[in-house]
Amino acid sequence: MKRRNFLPATLIFCLAVGALSAPASAAPAVEWVDPPGDANGLPEVESSPRPSDPELDVLNVSFVHKGENLVASLKLERVGIAAGSFGSVYRWYFKLKDSEYYFMARSATAEYDQLYYSTPGFYRVDPLGVEDEELRCDCKASFDNKTNTVSFAIKWEGIKKTLKGGELSSLYALTFRRYPNFIDADTARAPEKATFTL
């Protein structure tokens, strides 16, 4: 009796099953690095680490579609409260069509947090510089002291409804001190051609 070779058929079946169960294409993501040591200290505050504040020094920035969320993250030299302030502010800026937007996360000392909100937010920049418009935001901010990372997560479907989809460009992150010194510390700009698509 002639013995049949089942290897080709078995191989084809395994390949077919593998193709059906293979993960989908990689989620949209963009990431860039920023030079260390460029978060300018406050010259009038003796305790401010100079020439850079590690709590505001951005090393890495990313936008990624993760599960149900769009997650914007930045890695710092050190997560914490910058010297000479009551907290730190972290923003992720982008442009879509003719408007500019930003996500915002905030940290604060225990005393300052009792008086002022530190909730995350989503804003459209006022081109006249009077008052930025706060947008609907199903979002949250998180601070990881082990990885020195600050993240802002917003529901993917929610932001797509607000912005109607499209390509985000002119990406950059900005850090600065909360009251009493609202002074920009570090601006981490993405490469000129870097974009992220909703």
**83 or 58, higher pLDDT:** 58
| pLDDT of 33 over the 90 cut | yes
Task: Write phi, then psi, for 127 (nearest 5 degrees).
Answer: -60, -20
The residue that leads in pLDDT, 84 or 34, is: 34
Supply the DSSP string of 113-182, one letter for each residue: HHHS----EEEE--TTSS-PEE----EEEEEETTTTEEEEEEEHHHHHHHH-S-EEEEEEEEEEE-TT--
Please give the residue that has the higher pLDDT: either 76 or 179: 76
β-strand partners of 141: 152
Q: Mean per-residue pLDDT for 144-165?
A: 93
Strand partners, 153: 71, 140
Beta bridge partners of 91: 104, 174
Whether residue 51 has a cis bond before it, omega within 30° of 0: yes
What is the pLDDT, as a whole number, of residue 9?
A: 40
| pLDDT of residue 167 exceeding 60 | yes
* CB neighbours of residue 59 within 10 Å: 18
Q: Can you give the pLDDT at residue 25?
A: 40
The pLDDT value given to residue 180: 63
Query: Measuring CA to CA, which residue among 97, 99, 117, 98 is closest to residue 108?
Result: 117
pLDDT of residue 198: 86
The residue to which tokens 């069509």 are assigned = 97
| 56, pLDDT greater than 90 | yes
pLDDT at residue number 181? 63
Q: Is the pLDDT of residue 190 over 80?
A: yes
The pTM (predicted TM-score) of the whole model is: 0.82
Q: Distance between CA 37 and CA 5 in Å, rounded?
A: 65
pLDDT in tens, 86-127: 889 999 999 999 999 999 999 988 787 777 778 999 999 999
pLDDT of amino acid 15: 33
10-14's contacts with Cβ under 8 Å and 24+ in sequence apart are none
pLDDT, position 24? 39
